[in-house]
């Protein structure tokens, strides 16, 4: 029984990990910066690295907040 329990926890952790990775990788291209809403064009999802970092930082904060709830 404990064996199954361990596996379930392991699976859950792995699943969470994958979800976090894919969320970042599959941001849809909208033609606008996901951080500030400026038109980006050229298939870019952010104006520049600063906007991307800002966005990722906010997403992380959001995640931390949701987890503490």
Given 36, 39, 61, 64, the residue binding Zn ion (CB under 5 A): 36
If we measure between CA atoms, which residue out of 12, 13, 54, 24 comes closest to residue 37? 54
Q: Are 49 and 67 in contact (CB under 8 A)?
A: no
Which range of residues in 5-13, 16-24, 46-54, 58-66 is near Zn ion by CB under 5 A?
46-54
Per-residue contact flags (x/-) with Zn ion for residues 2 to 31, judged by CB under 5 A: ------------------------------
Tokens of 52: 């991307």
Give the span between the Cα atoms of 51 and 57, in whole angstroms.
10
Least distance from C-beta 42 to Zn ion, angstroms?
13
Residues making contact with Zn ion (CB under 5 A): 33, 35-36, 38, 47, 51
């Amino acid at each position: 029984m404990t064996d199954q329990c361990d596996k379930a926890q392991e699976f859950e952790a792995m699943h969470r990990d994958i979800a976090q990775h894919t969320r970042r990788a599959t941001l849809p291209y909208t033609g606008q910066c996901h951080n500030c809403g400026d038109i980006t064009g050229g298939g870019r999802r952010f104006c520049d690295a600063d906007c991307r970092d800002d966005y990722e930082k906010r997403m992380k904060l959001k995640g931390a907040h949701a987890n503490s709830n």
